[in-house]
Chains A and B, each alone.
Chain A
Amino acid sequence: MTTTERLPVTAGARPAARPRVDVLRRLPLLLLPLVGLAAWQLVVWIATPSEWLLPSPGAVAEVLWTDRERLWFHAQATIAEAAVGFALAVTIGVALAVAIVASPAVERTVYPWLVASQAIPILAVAPLVAIWLNYGTAQVMVAFVIAFFPVVVTGVDGLRGVDPAQARAVRTLGAGKVWTFWHVTWPAALPSLFSGLRMAAVFAVTGAVVAEYVGADRGLGYLSEFSTAQFQTARSFAAIALLAAVGMAFFGAVSLAERLVLPHRRHSSRPTWRRR
């Protein structure tokens, strides 16, 4: 038998102009913050506000450097709280998603309450959580509570989204239910689940910070709140800048994990209407 079909399937074969296009595409990413910083600096020069009202970018940068040890101490606390909250959210969220998909009874009894729980404003509950639990545990708890919802929802959607034909085909090849779950249903759920994990990673940081604002003795949220109260606005800004970096790092870590776990998605992530 001879091959009659040949397709240009090598995904790596792209026009040579690619690197330049990449730089052009990334330029706005670098340009945007620079423009923002310049505008900020300009406002400070023209309006000359007092430093406690609006510090200059230079002043914030200076604090970031001179106060780096204190900032890093608080950053570590926030990172630890968010990481533990995120890990709990993933573990419990995925387990719950599997239970909901496996059992209609669990779905009926748990899912509606899960949705209802998300309608409660976390800002209203966070102070209570801070009273009930000790410093650290409260932050982990709030991070967990807001991070685990997207994990459950995308997990359930992903597990339900498996192509039944794939499961049926391997079942008739002799696969048992456990094999089918691990080799068909679970991998089929991963792309959807990772969307939830990326949200959960950022939410976990937000949750930890919210809980730091209402009652903590460390963390970037605590430092920012504390500095504002002391009119140390530049330090507050520095803490917020660091917080943004922590959020991006969490998001980036999950995206990296996704690229490693789902290599086949690298070539098909561009929407069809933009593929060349």
Chain B
Amino acid sequence: MSERSPAPSIEARDLALTLGGTHVLDGLGLRIEPGEFVALIGPSGCGKSTLLSLLAGLLEPDAGGVLIDGLPSPDRLGRLTLMPQSDALMPWRTVLENVLVAPLLAGAGRDAAAELSRRALARFGLGGFEDHYPHALSGGMRQRAALARTLLGGARMWLLDEPFGALDALTRADLRAVLAEAWSQERPTTLLVTHDLDEAVLLADRILVCGPRPARVVGEIAVPLARPRGLDDMVRPEHAELRAEVLAVLRSAGALA
């Protein structure tokens, strides 16, 4: 793939969007620094997924704008890779053919794309499963493949929409470690939408709290914990304190009782 470019910053400025008469977003602003990992946490249905669609360029806002490296970027679609909660693998393609799509669309030749994909699958523990169809794999394995595809897209900005939300707790912990490692190597500018406090504290440099609809950022908590962070770190007092801090912000925003 091409020479690695430095990760850009992402900024949302006063985003407003009305869908079907509902104000989904009304004056939302946020900024993610180059190579920063930000987690966005908030109540269900507060418009987080819509925000990701806007950032990705799948939707355009009614007002406000998305700035990449400080510049308005109407043609940003394809520069920020979206990883959804459903793995979004195509059931008629084998695991290899699914992952292969990413380097192919990034401009690699077919042979090079296949080679990159094989290596990525092996790295993500899916060696030997290249020629299986997705329905023959467990949810965790499918999400590993989706992660490999995200990585191979070569984008320097990742948008992760509750990527592990449908997995059981053990598989989720496992996949978090895989994601953390991949992110540490690539250092893309990342926004993770999650419902999981532990996930936010384990993965993010900074946690943004989103209020009920229309979505706005109502609080911000820095996570100054050293990396790499493992499962064992979850029982440390610093982790518990940060968790409590996020909970307090969620409560004051009216997102929690």
Q: Which residues of A contact B254 (CB under 8 A)?
A: none
Name the one of B58, B89, B132 contacting A172, with C-beta atoms under 8 angstroms.
B58
Query: Which segment, of A122-130, A142-150, A163-171, A224-232, faces chain B?
Result: A163-171
A2 touching B125, Cβ below 8 Å: yes
B88:A169 contact, CB within 8 angstroms: yes
Contact B138–A172 (Cβ < 8 Å): no
Interface-central residue, A3, A9, A165, A172, by most chain B CB under 10 Å: A172
Residue pair A169, B105 in contact (C-beta under 8 Å): no
CB neighbours (8 Å) of B178 from chain A are 1
Q: Considering only CB atoms and an 8 Å cut-off, how many residues of chain A contact the other chain? A: 30
Report the Cα distance A184→B77, complex, angstroms: 17
Q: Mark A248-276, 1 if CB is under 8 A from B, else 0.
A: 00000000000000101101100000000
B140 cross-chain contacts in A, Cβ below 8 A: 5
A-chain residues with CB within 8 Å of residue B90 when the two chains form the complex: 166, 183-184, 187-188
Per the bound structure, the CA–CA distance linking A174 and B76 in Å amounts to 10
Complex Cα distance, B132 from A231, in Å, reads 60
Contacts of B53 in A (CB 8 A): 168
Pairwise interchain contact B88-A171, C-beta atoms closer than 8 A: no
Q: In the complex, A264→B133 CA distance in Å?
A: 7
Q: Assuming the A-B contacts A172-B159, A264-B91, are A7 and B137 also in contact, with contact meaning beta carbons closer than 8 angstroms in the complex?
A: yes
Number of B interface residues at 8 Å Cβ cutoff, please give it.
Answer: 46
* Chain A residues, Cβ within 8 Å of B123: 1
8 A Cβ contacts from B83-102 to A = 83-84, 86, 88-94, 101-102
User: Chain B residues near A11 (CB, 8 Å)?
Assistant: 136
Establish whether residues B82 and A169, one from each chain, have CB atoms under 8 Å apart when the complex forms.
yes
B127 near A: Cβ within 8 Å?
yes
Is the beta-carbon distance between B101 and A183 smaller than 8 angstroms? yes
Which residues of chain A are within 8 angstroms of B138 by Cβ–Cβ distance?
Answer: 5, 7
Instruction: Contact check, A172 vs B92: say whether CB atoms are below 8 A apart.
Output: no
Contacts of B81 in A (CB 8 A): 172-173
Q: Is A35 an interface residue (CB 8 A)?
A: no
- Complex: how many Å from CA A190 to CA B91? 12
CA distance A184 to B91 in the complex (A): 10
Q: How far is the CA of A11 from the CA of B146 in the complex (A)?
A: 22
Q: Is the CB of A264 within 8 A of B92?
A: yes
Q: How far is the CA of A170 from the CA of B84 in the complex (A)?
A: 11
CB of B88 within 8 A of CB of A173, answer no
Q: Is the CB of B92 within 8 A of A262?
A: yes
Chain A nearest Cβ from B20, distance in angstroms: 16
- CA–CA, A265 to B153, complex, Å? 28
Determine whether the beta carbon of A168 is less than 8 Å from that of B84.
yes
Name the CB-closest residue of B to A266: B133
Given A173-B78, A175-B105 in contact, is the A165-B88 Cβ separation under 8 Å?
yes
- Please indicate the chain B residues that have their CB under 8 angstroms from the CB of A174 in the complex: 78, 105-106, 153
A4 within 8 A of B: yes
Contacting pair B92 A168 (CB below 8 A) = no
| Residues of the A chain whose Cβ atoms lie less than 8 Å from the Cβ of B129 | 9
B106 CB contacts on chain A under 8 angstroms: 173-174
Complex: A49 Cα to B88 Cα, angstroms? 65
Interface string of B130-148 (1 = CB under 8 A from A): 0011011110110000100
**A-B complex: 5 closest residue pairs judged by Cβ atoms:** A174-B78, A169-B88, A172-B82, A3-B125, A165-B88
Chain B interface (Cβ within 8 Å of chain A)?
53, 56-58, 77-78, 80-84, 86, 88-94, 101-102, 105-106, 123-127, 129, 132-133, 135-138, 140-141, 146, 149, 153, 155, 159, 171, 174, 178, 181
- Contacts A1-B125, A166-B88, A175-B78 known; 13 new A-B pairs at CB < 8 A: A1-B123, A1-B181, A5-B138, A9-B129, A165-B88, A168-B56, A169-B83, A171-B58, A172-B80, A172-B82, A173-B102, A174-B153, A183-B101
Q: Which residues of A contact B (CB under 8 A)?
A: 1-5, 7, 9, 11, 163, 165-166, 168-175, 179, 183-184, 187-188, 190, 262, 264-265, 267-268
